[in-house]
Amino acid sequence: MTRRIKFKSEVGRLLEIVIHSLYKHREIFLRELISNSVDALNKLKFKELQGEDIVDKDLEHRIDIKVNQSENTIEVVDTGIGMTEDEIIENLGTIAHSGTRKFLELLEKKDNVKEELIGQFGVGFYSVFMVAEKVEVISKSFRKDAPAVKWASEGKERFTVDILEGNYKRGTSVKIYLKEDAKEFLSESRIEAIIDRYSRFVPYPIYLNGRKLKQVKPLWLENPRDLKKEDYEEFYKYLTKSELKPLNYLHIYSDAPVDLKSIIYIPPFSLVKFGLEDDTGIRLYNRRVLIAEKTEELVPDYLRFLKGVVDSEDIQLNISRETIQNDPVVLKLKKTITSRFIKHLKDLLKKDRANYSLFFDEFGVYLKEGIVKDYPEKQDLAELLLFEYTDGEDKITLSEYLEKTDYKDSIFYIVGEDRKTIEKSPYLEQFYKKGVPVLILTQVLDETVLEHIGKFKDAEFKLITREDVSLENKKEEDKSIEESDRRFLEKVKEVLKDRIHDAIVSTRLVKSPYCLVSQKNAPSSQMERMMNALNKFYVPSKKILEFNTSHPVYKNLKDFVLNSEDEKLKETLLNSIVDTAELTEGFLSDIPHAVERYNELIERLVELEKK
Ligand code: ADP
């Protein structure tokens, strides 16, 4: 008896899209079907290894493609796990595959998404309707006593399901009746080219009209010495179902202390940037049998952008999602992969700086995450960071920084919004004068990263906008303060007591007349502003106002403050100085009052001119 069943509405929507808008990518239907067959064979192999009872035990594990010119059909047949009636209704009537679901979401925001990303998701079984006017699936489950079942549909609202009598062998056959405009796929050479392109690494033999096609052994099991860069790139494309090349890769091939054959890829860019989750992760195999598809447990969380395969004979076949995390073999694999990968990055940094820089620009933020979350390999990660600095255009590592400075116990840094503003900052004057490099941090996160590193090779990180950080010896300078300076500073403190913590003579300024510095243990102004943005009750700490006593502005200002009787003007002028010092740092805390003060000063100036 034939059952007529309606597709779930989401499938209907998908079919619409597949049939109408994916014309350019039509050939991928074959990749999707072969990939389903591989999955089915993997699942079967898995059952076998677990000792389950299986029908047609001696059937060869294989995939057959049959092209029939006179019938206008293509058939993809496998001897995999098969489906029962219930399974076929569930699997081919709803959207099972999370990638397909994402694909739907992706198409909705298509405008801001790159075309080539589409290939990364795959549309699964339903992609056959790009080329088919009708599809018939015949499947027989590996389970004893399950009858064969036939599913058929024209990709419209419904599909039909029939139980079949008679003799069928285990596995699934998908028969496609080609549309009028899809006859190109009746060409054997065309089909062979598509298989070669997308399914070359499939771990089961593929036959085309009875002829066995040439295939490549799973790459990770081959000796790295026998492989070329192109081989790795091809495999990456196969793995990610895309046309993109990886940024870099690492092939681990070892038997001890744990059996591990693995290829780890750094993708060309981070998908997360496009607001998308990444579907390909790291696949776990035991001797080519797929154990888990996207195995997050094989690398620490901060390396989640990596893709590739991991194969180990030591892994249990029946490991479950729940136990995988604490499995001793998995933990051992994770440790080895992590340390090998970090070592690989260190080598890359040394040997191919251009490639490393590309990596760092794209994924450096993940390494920083590893540091901030205090992973045990944090000090190794610190060696992999690149920073902008005052003396050069290129970025440098912390070790390179230490090679460039005479102050081996300090790594000086400054935080700001953009490099151009920072470069003109008065805080840097003494460093320029003495030729001491300073790291330029333009991301607030970087400051936290340095805090978490703590110390790097005995050197301490020093924020140069803090009161206690200076290249000069403060005590000597103290002596040169005159009585009039002392009185001036007292007056400044009195007038500005609500805005500043202290007023002192500077040892850091060379060209600028004054600046604000942070108190000893205070975070940078940028950090404080961020904290204030996150929590409006956070009160930024008061700054210290420093004066350059050898600057002409200072002398005039001092004379005026000590000798004039116009208290109102003194207050405006000194407050304006704090405003200007804030601006030098890149942020004005109270714009309306600052503007009032400037206007008042302009008015006074104009009056003066008139007199
Ligand atoms: P998926 O990405 O999960 O394969 P598909 O839409 O391609 O999504 O297929 C849906 C489901 O149908 C699969 O997850 C699988 O359970 C089942 N299926 C598809 N093709 C086969 C096959 N050749 N053999 C057994 N089951 C299959």
Answer whether residue 381 is part of any domain: no
pLDDT in tens, 182-238: 999 999 999 999 988 777 778 899 999 999 998 777 899 999 999 999 999 999 988
Domain identity same for 150 and 13:
yes
**250 within domain boundaries:** yes
Indicate the pLDDT class of residue 471, thresholds 50, 70 and 90.
confident
Whole-angstrom distance, CA of residue 139 vs CA of residue 79: 10
> With pLDDT > 90 as the criterion, what percentage of the chain qualifies?
63
Q: Report CA Rg, the chain.
A: 34
Q: Are residues 336 and 437 in the same domain?
A: no
CA angle 484, 490, 494 (to 5 degrees): 145
For ligand 1, say whether the CB of 127 is within 6 Å of any of its atoms.
no
CA angle centred on 172, ends 96 and 10, rounded to 5° = 25
Is the pLDDT assigned to residue 310 strictly greater than 50?
A: yes
CA of 529 to the centre of ligand 1 (A): 52
Domain CATH code at residue 299: 3.30.230.80
Comparing 156-165, 216-225, 274-283, 571-580, the range with the smallest average pLDDT is 274-283
More reliable by pLDDT, 492 or 523: 492
> Which atom of ligand 1 is least distant from the CA of 36?
20
Structural domain harbouring 278: 219-357
pLDDT in tens, 37-49: 998 999 999 899 8
Partnered with residue 134 across adjacent β-strands are 177
Q: How many domains does the chain have?
A: 4
Is the pLDDT reported for residue 176 higher than 80?
yes
When mean pLDDT is compared across 35-49, 103-117, 242-256, 359-373, the lowest value belongs to 103-117
Co-location of 455 and 527 in the same domain: no
| CA–CA dist 230, 219 (Å, integer) | 12
Q: Which of 111, 102, 181, 129 is nearest to 22 (CA)?
A: 129
Domain assignment present for residue 348? The answer is yes
Q: Is the pLDDT of residue 278 over 90?
A: no
Q: Are residues 153 and 272 in the same domain?
A: no
Residue 239 scores a pLDDT above 50:
yes
Q: Are 262 and 309 in contact (CB under 8 A)?
A: yes
Ligand 1 atom, smallest distance to 78 CA: 23
pLDDT at 359 over 50: yes
How confident is residue 116, by pLDDT bands cut at 50, 70 and 90? very low
Cross-strand partners of 282: 308
Contact of 195 with 211, CB cutoff 8 Å: no
Looking up residue 599, the CATH number of its domain turns out to be 1.20.120.790
DSSP 523: P
Both 16 and 158 in one domain: the answer is yes
Torsion sign, CA atoms 124, 130, 132, 134? positive
* 407 CA to centre of own chain: 35
Q: Does residue 313 belong to any structural domain of this protein?
A: yes
**Cis peptide upstream of residue 224 (ω within 30 degrees of 0):** no
Amino acid residing at 20: H
Q: How far apart are CA 539 and CA 529, in angstroms?
A: 9
Does residue 172 share a domain with residue 52? yes
Q: Where is the domain boundary, 161, 186, 212?
A: 212
> Which residues contact residue 144 at a Cβ distance below 8 angstroms, ignoring those fewer than 6 apart?
53, 55
144 and 79 assigned to the same domain: yes
> Residue 122 in contact with residue 97, Cβ under 8 Å?
yes
Cβ atoms 282, 299 nearer than 8 A: yes
Contact between 597 and 569 under an 8 Å Cβ cutoff? The reply is no
| Residue 386 · residue 360 · CB < 8 Å | yes
Checking if the pLDDT of 115 tops 50, the result is no
What is the number of the ligand 1 atom nearest to the C-alpha of 37? 23
Q: 88 and 113, same structural domain?
A: yes
Pick the range with the lowest mean pLDDT from 21-25, 174-178, 335-339, 385-389: 21-25
| Among the listed residues 539, 535, 572, 579, the one whose alpha carbon sits nearest the alpha carbon of residue 557 | 572
Mean residue pLDDT of the chain comes to: 89
The residue out of 178, 196, 212 marking a domain boundary is: 212
Instruction: Give bridge partners of residue 595 from the DSSP assignment.
Output: none
Domain endpoint, select from 430, 463, 496: 463
pLDDT tens for residues 529-547?
A: 888 888 888 888 899 999 9
> Which of ligand 1's atoms lies nearest the C-alpha of 80?
24
Is residue 155 within 8 Å of 161, Cβ to Cβ? no
Q: Residues 160, 151: contact at Cβ < 8 Å?
A: yes
Could you tell me the two tokens for 598? Answer: 């400037």
The reply to whether 470 falls in a domain is: no
Q: Is the pLDDT of residue 117 over 70?
A: no
- Per-residue pLDDT for 95 more than 80? no
Question: Which protein residue's CA is at the shortest distance from atom 21 of ligand 1?
Answer: 36
- Do 489 and 426 sit in the same domain of this protein? no
Which of 14, 125, 199, 293 to mutate to test ligand 1, by most ligand atoms within 8 A of the CB atom?
A: 125
In contact, 2 and 170? CB cutoff 8 Å? no
What is the average pLDDT across 61-85? 97
pLDDT of residue 418: 84
Based on the domain organization, do 605 and 509 belong to the same domain? yes
Query: Looking at the domain assignment, is residue 469 inside a domain?
Result: no
535 and 483, same domain (yes or no): yes
Residue 375 lies in a domain: no
280 and 411 fall within a common domain: no
C-alpha 125 to ligand 1 mean position (Å): 7
Mapped onto helix, strand or coil, the DSSP state of residue 345 is helix
Nearest residue to 556 (alpha-carbon basis) of 510, 513, 601: 513
Q: Is the CB of 124 under 6 A from ligand 1?
A: yes
Output the pLDDT for position 591: 93
pLDDT tens column, 442-459: 888 899 999 999 999 999
Check if 83 has its Cβ closer than 6 Å to any atom of ligand 1: yes
Q: Ligand 1, residues 36, 41, 159: which to mutate, most atoms within 8 A of Cβ?
A: 36
Task: Please say if the pLDDT value at position 356 is more than 70.
Answer: yes
In-domain check, residue 294 = yes
Residue nearest to atom 18 of ligand 1 (CA): 36
pTM of whole model > 0.85?
no
